[in-house]
Amino acid sequence: MTVISAESAGTDPEGTPVDRWTLERAGTRVRLLTYGGVVQSVEVPDRAGAVADVVLGFPDLAGYLAARGPYFGALVGRYANRLSGAAFALDGRTHRVSANEGPNCLHGGERGFDQRVWHAERDGDHGVRLSRISPDGEEGFPGRLAVSVTYALDAAGGLRIDYRAETDAATPVSLTNHTYWNLGGARGGRPATGHELRLAAERFTEVDNALLPTGELPPVAGTRFDFRTPRVVGPGYDHNFVLDGHGPAAGEGGGPAARQVAEVYDPVSGRFMTLTTTEPGLQLYTGDYLDGQPYGPGAGIALETQAFPDSPNRPGFPDTVLRPGEVYTSSTTYGFGVR
């Protein structure tokens, strides 16, 4: 059983109370904020038993309010990643959404899910459930979207994140978590770009200079995108990978089955992290644009399970439109161990 507690973390700029929840089980301690659904810290032991926080974050709410752009630990939506031209056509109508990265929409717009305070309640003996209503027209997206995200620890101390959403009008949905991981310890002084990564992906999403998909899905073989066998992660990645094994096999709720798609290993500390997901894509971002406030480039790597970027504008990509009567579900688990 997970030990669960909650405490006040302060208030957001509008005066809305923000809480911090703590989950502890099987040697893992996770702290979460109701502001932005932020994963504030994940503490796990190394091979010598020394415990360290392995995610980039801030000690208090003020840090997250001041540093919006990097999305440290945040719950991202209504549509993760980029939408070209901050617009998309749906059922014969063009919808214009908030442009917050030049002419494009990134991670839900100027004030996405990462800057909202979520309602929180205990979810049984294993975790906490966050929920909110995204009203019709929020950041330009159509439909009233009822969203819930459950953070829980499994019997082995893995962090499982389950997403669920329903709408009253057709709308694109892709939710993810934007935690930056450094298995050597977030404040240990070593960059995460020395970690080894294995990724079950034979193809990746080619992008242009604006990091928007070209529509091509070239093979990783013979390129720096080939992580099918473990290799050290260097700088220069902000790309979506086409994960192997995504298909119609039924998982919980009749959706795609979860499968293990990645493992990250820090040979110095001995910590490793596995990643299991139901999603078709994974964005690898090596933090090249972190500005040193307080983390510099490569201090952590993000592994964002997601739909493909710009899918609403790419008919050849997997469909991301949620319609009335349907239920959006997604599940990702981060497992921890040492060797």
Dist. CA 221–CA 213, nearest whole Å: 19
Q: Please report where in the chains the tokens 């009822």 appear, as a residue.
A: 146
What's the gap between Cα 249 and its chain centre? 23
Distances (CA, A) of 209 to 10, 221, 295: 40, 22, 25
Amino acid at 181: W
Spatial distance between the Cα atoms of 102 and 104, rounded to a whole number of angstroms: 6
Just list the catalytic residues: 178, 304
CA distance 106 to 174: 12
- Phi-psi group of 71: left, alpha or beta (phi > 0 → left; psi -120 to 50 → alpha; rest → beta): left
CB burial of 222-239 (b: ≥16 within 10 Å; e: otherwise) equals: eeebebeeeeebeeebbb
Residue with tokens 């003996």: 125
3-state secondary structure of 193: helix
